[in-house]
Structure 1
Amino acid sequence: MALSAPGLDPCSFRGLFFFQLLLLLLSPTTTMGSGPGPMPRVKYYAGDGRRALSFFHQAGLQDFDTLLLSGDGNTLYVGAREAILALNIQDPGVPRLKNMISWPASDRKKSECALKKKSNETQCFNFIRVLVSFNETHLYACGTFAFSPACTFIGLQDSHLLPILEDKVIEGKGQSPFDPAHKHTAVLVDGMLYSGTMNNFLGSEPILMRTLGSQPVLKTDTFLRWLHPDASFVAAIPSTQVVYFFFEETASEFDFFERLHTSRVARVCKNDVGGEKLLQKKWTTFLKAQLLCAQEGQLPFNVIRHAVLLPAEAPSVPRVYAVFTSQWQVGGTRSSAVCAFSLTDIERVFKGKYKELNKETSRWTTYRGRETDPRPGSCSVGPSSDKALTFMKDHFLMDEQVVGAPLLVKSGVEYTRLAVETAQGLDGQSHLVLYLGTSTGSLHKAVMSGSRSAYLVEEIQIFPDPEPVHNLQLAPAQGAIFAGFSGGVWKVPRANCSVYESCVDCVLARDPHCAWDLESRTCRLLSNPNLRIWKQDMERGNPEWACAPGPMGRSHRPQSRPQLIKEVLVVPNSILELPCPHMSALASYRWSHGKAAIPETSSAVYNGSLLLLPHDGVGGLYQCVATENGFSYPVVSYWVDSQDQPLAMDPELAGIPRERVEVPLTRVGGAAIAAQRSYWPHFLVVTVLLALVLSGALIILLASPLGALRARGKVQGCGSLPPGEKAPLSREQHQQPPKEHRTSASDVDVDNNHLGTEVA
């Protein structure tokens, strides 16, 4: 398989010389992760055609911050800045606008907002913050209304929005935040709205409030400091008898030198009616506990960003999944984690011991006293006694922590939002799928299969410019997930199986929504799958077993026969570049030259590509082999040949289709660039850097003898005085400089001033 090249001319010698320098200066690069934690197997940048997304936008509108899915799953209601939209998402492709209604803040409110030193360009508008389905004929919406929160009912007619009447707009204080930048949460349960937000203009009075419905309006007591002034609410989740609020605040029970943030879960009972004498119109069942999400031996993830409930079928227990970040940076980057909390564990903590504040020491300790019956804070029927209410005023913090199980820990990324669902694979098992929005506008798809830790199937850059993901709405009937941002709404298919072009790639992806169809030889979305001819291996991801035409045992034997061979012709006096597409970030890549080793004197690997200097013995078959999950397979195969003297066909490669391709190359004889990419700029940069390093080393070597001579002069002259000796008192001795010492004008002035002081 050797190339029979003619004798080397001076240009060839020069090319060989430059290539040897290239081997010395270019260091091999490897694909490294951004830190500990799972790496996304595939990453799609914004605008990548392989992961096509649908984008909806409306001229003149921005800040699509609130999303609501209709009961039938065919309409998406969107709360934007000073407008509410109804989008038809039933048809594939870009969502279509059904209709839109405007709800701007009044001119008077905008003027008052500007007088309060708020921006009339970015803040003094009506940002929709609450959008819930009240019943089949009405929605309930709340907005900031230029720092004067307001709410209203919106009529529906065939999923179309009816205009808002001004006389139907009511005050929304306690339901919507004043500032659009403040976090908030709200959930509608049994016709009653449970909201967590800031209750004043300054944003220093957090409140948990119940409005609407037949029950009395209740809220937290600000004077009793049940909530720290910086509390930030992220989710509200209803249960059978209670409603849980998830938030983060500064921990008052810990005494540290800096403010320690902590994540909380608070609980109020649905049947709470408030106190008769004490705690009138206040919650009498408010309790809160600490959420702990941490790895063993590591700092905790103490800042909660979002939480969702995934209902489970009996006998499984419903679980709450939440994303956390840390207030500390380790290694200059922040980390994120996804933790799961069982509702059973949360209920058990709220039935445990209380904490109480020792007023003498100002420290929180475990309450050891007796408890009354019924238990204070419980959802017992009937009004509570004054004694129980007095107890509840000071015993609202639980002693035990709610400990979560970390499912995924990732450094170098901040998760801001999540959506959760389960997907059933071909094996009949349910697999947990997490969609995680990041602070830079990306979406991570994570899968947890069995008892193993979660892994990342893909990363999709949704927003063209870095911007946090503030909302995610999963639409199971449409097989998509929606994300709103400042410029519109993106529709992301939850899987695009067609990007996996081979059975090997389809199985290694371990996407529960995708499986390989042996009949059509395509990777297809799981919808009414044919279990006989569809292949998937979620547990191990073994293509050797799943992609075999017949039954065979699980094996990790390398698959070396290529599916396609790309023919490359040698160009004299040039460096060939054979690219290797990295289909998976989890695979390791290596190059092979048929059955022989790659000649080290005439080849190098740079950025995954193989660089070759053509001469005798470099022709033949070159393969880039990927190894992932213990399975090896060829990614790309090249046949390097000479146009003048082609090589004989290898009998083992007979029957494999071939195609002629042109690869990047750089001519070293005439310095003419014949490829898209040249390495000579790299070579020149490295050469200049090498020259600077050598010059610096030479300066250091020359400076060392000068330093020794200077030090010797100081020893022979007037050096520093030993300790205990006093300086000479005469003017001549005091002004006489040591040898090789240059006296500046400032030194003379200082000496003269000092002398003048002695004379005086």
Structure 2
Amino acid sequence: LCNYKKNKAKDGGVQMETGKGKCPFEPSQHYTAVMAVDKVLFVPTSNFLGTLFDISRATGLEQERIRTERSINWLSDPEFVSSAFIQQSADSNPTGDDDKIYFFFTEVAKEYDLYTKVKVPRVARVCKSDVGGMKTLQRRWTTFLKAQLVCEDKPSGQRYNILTDVFTMQHTQGDPSSTHFYGLFTSQEHEELSAVCVFSLSDINKVMDGPFKELKKTCENWINPEPIPTPRPGQCLNNALKAEGFESSLKLPDKVLTFVRDHPLMENSVTAAPLLVRKRIRYTKLAVTQAGSGEEPTRAVLHLGTDRGELHQVAVVGQNATLLREMSLFTAQEPVNNILLHKVELVHPSHIVWTSSNAEGCALYPNCEVCARARGLGCVWKEDASSDHTLCSYLFAQFSVINLSAVSLLTLSPPERCHPSPRELKVSMGLHLLLPCVQLSPRPCSWEHPPHRHTRQHHSNLEVTVTEETLGKYICTCQVHRHNYHQSFSQII
């Protein structure tokens, strides 16, 4: 049972708003909610028995509190895991398109005529300004559309059809169109199997703008419906629709509303290949941090909680995934219920049992060279705030495993230059040497050495013929992420 603080009462007390229709009756029930910028709450809930489900605008003006149609074609025994409010920015929204809310869940598919219940992952979308229809779909969403999410490893044919968690990340700060959704999946047949797939906002919207799926009752086959009425069913209000006289969803024609009522499902699916697949491990929660800019490849670090109370950190660069760290969080093997990334100063004691840990998996790398090699894992060589030494540290300072959901990242100062101690080589006259230099990025390495002509560079390595004039100090400089890493040698006889 939940209550929400609303306003001060006339007697000076606090007037409370009931939590009915805003949170589940059963604490163990899957639940998600998202609040828009104007403090309007959008939430999926069920009735007391857990037999009827809907997605509703649960706060705001009473006449604007609308919900989904209670039909199995709209929601069929869903299990919600996440939601996201995507606000359009004025700079990237010349069409005046409405803000949107996305919901992620698993439900029983009605489009498959099978004896067993087939579960499929879905993404549903509604528009923030939707207030329902005038006659058809009164107090119901007129913009509710949903599509199937497909996380499939095509070489093996393995499809992951149970959605466990979704983490929303804006890849370019301030650009809503760069939003990606990292989905954590398992399989209906193999529970000890986990996969992570990422879906872009643009791919989801492209599917929502595509053909609709329809059940033709004469032969029980799904086909593309024709014709689609105008204006397009399910689309959000924009400048063009308002110019045609559709300033509100209340003014949409009944034929448009009837069509969207009967065709909430899209024909095409939003597909992606797994970034990561782990066998004999069941992941329960996912959080993602990101690093990389300019010419450097974008790298994501996945923070994955398991059902045994462990945390796994996996770095993803392109199509390559590397396990960075595994650690136990609890003394008992209890599942990780949530992962919160936060600034250190926002940590406060709570009655909620939680554990925090510095994300210092990079501390395993003892020197600047190996730390620089691990830059794809989010490691940087930087000064330690508590000492005068430089250490290999993770780009993001700290995370906690906690039953809350908010994200803010703490970006640290850029790494310092590496200055390793010189290595002395005993040599003899006339000897041919190949001095190694580890090239850590696509940028070329350069050598500083005594002025002579008895050297030749092979890629990043340097070939040297030992003479009296070639004795001295040799320094190789390689640029890594706009900072320099030095490797130095000196020769003695």
TM-score, reference length from structure 2: 0.69
Aligned length: 383
TM-aligned CA distance change 1:412 to 1:482, over 3 Å:
farther
Q: Separation in 2 of the partners of 1:175 and 1:206?
A: 12
Higher helix share: 1
Q: Separation in 1 of the partners of 2:224 and 2:389?
A: 66
CA drift of 1:416 comes to 1.6
Q: Separation in 1 of the partners of 2:100 and 2:446?
A: 55
Q: Separation in 1 of the partners of 2:313 and 2:356?
A: 15
Is 1:275 matched up with 2:124? no
1:523 match:
392
1:80 match:
none
Q: Where do 1:624-635 residues align within 5 Å?
A: none
Q: Separation in 2 of the partners of 1:222 and 1:413?
A: 36
- Indicate the SS of the match to 2:110: coil
**Alignment counterpart, residue 242 of structure 1, candidates 65, 77, 100:** 100
**Alignment counterpart, residue 321 of structure 1, candidates 182, 191, 204:** 182
CA drift of 1:289 comes to 0.6
Is 1:213 matched up with 2:60? yes
CA drift of 1:338 comes to 0.9
Q: Separation in 2 of the partners of 1:284 and 1:277?
A: 11
Q: Once the two structures are superposed, what CA deviation does each residue of 1:723-757 show, in whole Å capped at 9, x if it has no partner?
A: xxxxxxxxxxxxxxxxxxxxxxxxxxxxxxxxxxx
User: Residue type of the partner of 2:84?
Assistant: I
Q: Where do 1:521-600 residues align within 5 Å?
A: 522-524=391-393, 527-533=412-418, 544=438
Q: Separation in 1 of the partners of 2:117 and 2:419?
A: 55
Is residue 328–residue 334 contact of structure 1 (8 Å, CA) maintained in 2?
A: no
Is residue 195–residue 209 contact of structure 1 (8 Å, CA) maintained in 2?
A: yes
Is residue 366–residue 399 contact of structure 1 (8 Å, CA) maintained in 2?
A: yes
Q: Separation in 2 of the partners of 1:550 and 1:480?
A: 46
Q: Separation in 2 of the partners of 1:232 and 1:524?
A: 38
CA drift of 1:425 comes to 8.3
Q: Separation in 2 of the partners of 1:334 and 1:261?
A: 17
Q: Separation in 2 of the partners of 1:479 and 1:508?
A: 30
Is residue 408–residue 454 contact of structure 1 (8 Å, CA) maintained in 2?
A: yes
- Indicate the SS of the match to 2:33: strand
**Alignment counterpart, residue 219 of structure 2, candidates 361, 364, 386:** 361
2:286 match:
418
Q: Where do 1:136-285 residues align within 5 Å?
A: 145=1, 150-153=2-5, 168-189=15-36, 190-197=38-45, 199-214=46-61, 216-223=64-71, 225-228=73-76, 230-239=77-86, 240=88, 241-285=99-143
Q: Separation in 1 of the partners of 2:260 and 2:232?
A: 10
Is residue 284–residue 305 contact of structure 2 (8 Å, CA) maintained in 1?
A: yes
CA drift of 1:257 comes to 3.4
TM-aligned CA distance change 1:321 to 1:545, over 3 Å:
same
TM-aligned CA distance change 1:429 to 1:374, over 3 Å:
same
Q: Please, which moves more after superposition, 211-220 or 292-301? A: 211-220
Q: Separation in 2 of the partners of 1:302 and 1:543?
A: 47
Q: Separation in 1 of the partners of 2:321 and 2:378?
A: 13
Q: Separation in 2 of the partners of 1:424 and 1:534?
A: 23
Is 1:442 matched up with 2:306? no
1:572 match:
none
- Indicate the SS of the match to 2:255: helix
CA drift of 1:155 comes to 9.2
User: Residue type of the partner of 2:234?
Assistant: G
CA drift of 1:282 comes to 0.9
Is residue 337–residue 407 contact of structure 1 (8 Å, CA) maintained in 2?
A: yes
Is residue 177–residue 202 contact of structure 2 (8 Å, CA) maintained in 1?
A: no
Q: Where do 1:610-759 residues align within 5 Å?
A: none
CA drift of 1:306 comes to 1.1
User: Residue type of the partner of 1:307?
Assistant: V
Higher strand share: 2
Is residue 483–residue 490 contact of structure 1 (8 Å, CA) maintained in 2?
A: no
Is residue 482–residue 490 contact of structure 1 (8 Å, CA) maintained in 2?
A: no
2:467 match:
none
Q: Separation in 2 of the partners of 1:312 and 1:247?
A: 23
Is residue 174–residue 207 contact of structure 1 (8 Å, CA) maintained in 2?
A: no
1:409 match:
277
- Indicate the SS of the match to 2:260: helix
Is residue 503–residue 543 contact of structure 1 (8 Å, CA) maintained in 2?
A: no
1:46 match:
none
- Indicate the SS of the match to 2:160: coil
**Alignment counterpart, residue 163 of structure 2, candidates 304, 310, 321:** 304
- Indicate the SS of the match to 1:392: helix
TM-aligned CA distance change 1:183 to 1:226, over 3 Å:
same
User: Residue type of the partner of 1:194?
Assistant: F
Is residue 246–residue 266 contact of structure 1 (8 Å, CA) maintained in 2?
A: yes
Q: Where do 1:348-497 residues align within 5 Å?
A: 348-367=206-225, 369-380=226-237, 381-382=247-248, 383-424=251-292, 429-449=297-317, 451-475=318-342, 477-478=343-344, 488-497=353-362
**Whose Rg is larger?**
1
Is residue 264–residue 290 contact of structure 1 (8 Å, CA) maintained in 2?
A: yes
User: Residue type of the partner of 1:151?
Assistant: N
Q: Once the two structures are superposed, what CA deviation does each residue of 1:560-595 show, in whole Å capped at 9, x if it has no partner?
A: xxxxxxxxxxxxxxxxxxxxxxxxxxxxxxxxxxxx
Is residue 237–residue 309 contact of structure 1 (8 Å, CA) maintained in 2?
A: yes
Is residue 338–residue 407 contact of structure 1 (8 Å, CA) maintained in 2?
A: yes
CA drift of 1:483 comes to 13
CA drift of 1:304 comes to 0.7
- Indicate the SS of the match to 2:64: coil
Q: Separation in 2 of the partners of 1:377 and 1:549?
A: 59
Q: Separation in 2 of the partners of 1:428 and 1:221?
A: 48
CA drift of 1:505 comes to 5.5
- Indicate the SS of the match to 2:159: coil
Q: Once the two structures are superposed, what CA deviation does each residue of 1:41-76 show, in whole Å capped at 9, x if it has no partner?
A: xxxxxxxxxxxxxxxxxxxxxxxxxxxxxxxxxxxx
User: Residue type of the partner of 1:389?
Assistant: L
TM-aligned CA distance change 1:252 to 1:216, over 3 Å:
same
- Indicate the SS of the match to 1:471: coil
Q: Separation in 2 of the partners of 1:513 and 1:154?
A: 45
- Indicate the SS of the match to 2:275: strand
Is 1:336 matched up with 2:194? yes
Q: Where do 1:88-127 residues align within 5 Å?
A: none
Q: Separation in 2 of the partners of 1:464 and 1:522?
A: 29
CA drift of 1:429 comes to 4.9
Is residue 231–residue 249 contact of structure 1 (8 Å, CA) maintained in 2?
A: yes
CA drift of 1:501 comes to 3.2
Is residue 192–residue 279 contact of structure 2 (8 Å, CA) maintained in 1?
A: yes
Query: Percent same amino acid among aligned pairs?
Result: 35
CA drift of 1:495 comes to 2.5
- Indicate the SS of the match to 2:132: coil
**Alignment counterpart, residue 346 of structure 1, candidates 183, 186, 204:** 204
Q: Separation in 2 of the partners of 1:501 and 1:216?
A: 59
CA drift of 1:544 comes to 4.9
TM-aligned CA distance change 1:260 to 1:543, over 3 Å:
farther
TM-aligned CA distance change 1:391 to 1:429, over 3 Å:
closer
Is residue 507–residue 543 contact of structure 1 (8 Å, CA) maintained in 2?
A: no
TM-score, reference length from structure 1: 0.46
Q: Please, which moves more after superposition, 288-297 or 218-227? A: 218-227
TM-aligned CA distance change 1:415 to 1:543, over 3 Å:
farther
TM-aligned CA distance change 1:278 to 1:349, over 3 Å:
same
TM-aligned CA distance change 1:282 to 1:497, over 3 Å:
same
Gaps of 5+ in 1: 1-144, 157-164, 536-541, 556-760
CA drift of 1:504 comes to 6.3
CA drift of 1:493 comes to 1.7
CA drift of 1:371 comes to 1.5
